[in-house]
Copies of this chain bind each other. A is one copy, B any other.
Amino acid sequence: MKPTPMSPSDLPATLLAFGAHPDDIEFGCGGVIARETQSGRPAHFVICSRGESGTNGTPAERTAEAQKSAALLGATCEFLNLGGDAHLTHTVAHALQLAAIIRRLRPQIVLAPTLVENQHPDHVIVGRLVRDAARLARYGGVAELRETPAHAIASLLFYAITPDAEPADRSALLIDISSAVPAWTAAMEAHTTQLRTRNYVELQLTRARVNGLRSGVAHATALFPNDPLVFDSLAQLARTARQF
């Protein structure tokens, strides 16, 4: 489960994604992950429980599903124990655990669940832990982190696992994932235990299709930046969702 060692001088910085449960990253932003790894960017998943409290699937089954799914998306993955599924807590100790991973992998872009409160409480807790961890990772004097050099990430982007988790207080960014839909679909379908009772795959593909239609592409995923985006030139802004 250890991530493949990276030599950051040779590769683009690793895309680092955090999820509360073994399927959160895949359902929430798996299309984005596949699109990035297809372009040669390494990706790594940190999964903060093994789904111990879910209605379907044992922790062992869910661990295996997550590993298979990450591989289908071209990503490595590791698991943390932050109290167990449905028992995650927002503590400084947990934030420091995540900060240590950020210092180890030194990503530019980090993905985490949105902070909208009306969703599974574990999702929000992971989102908050990641936001705190991204700050702690850059403070030079944090005693627990002294073994690794401080690291400031460039961007923290949130993904919404369900429609109700999309924040109303900030603008969505739409990522064109059209080329990655087959890989994404396969990765979602790898979570077979979770598909027994709910139609998550259709939910996610349908959401991505609505965003695709708005954007004039086949499928798109909405992400929500934690901070204002900075650009060098308007040329980077020459594509917006104005189809209707």
Binding site for B on A (CB under 8 A): 12, 15, 32, 35-36, 39, 41, 51-56, 83, 85-87, 89, 91-92, 95, 108-109, 115, 117-121, 128, 131-132, 135-136, 138-143, 150, 152-157, 161-164, 168-176, 198-199, 202-203, 206-207, 209-210, 213-217, 220, 222-223, 225-244
Contacts and interface: CB of A to CB of B under 8 A. Distances in A.
A229 B86 contact: no
Copies of this chain held together in the complex:
6
Contact of A228 (B131, B140, B214, B226): B214
A135 to B, nearest CB: 6
B230 A222 contact: no
Given A87-B92, A171-B170, A171-B171, A215 B239 contact: no
A65 to B, nearest CB: 15
Contact of A215 (B52, B162, B230): B230
30 contacts: A32-B234, A35-B233, A36-B234, A53-B136, A53-B142, A55-B150, A109-B237, A117-B128, A117-B131, A121-B132, A153-B242, A154-B242, A155-B237, A155-B238, A155-B240, A155-B242, A156-B242, A161-B244, A163-B214, A171-B225, A173-B231, A174-B228, A174-B230, A206-B210, A216-B230, A227-B241, A228-B241, A229-B237, A230-B240, A230-B241
Nearest to A175: B231
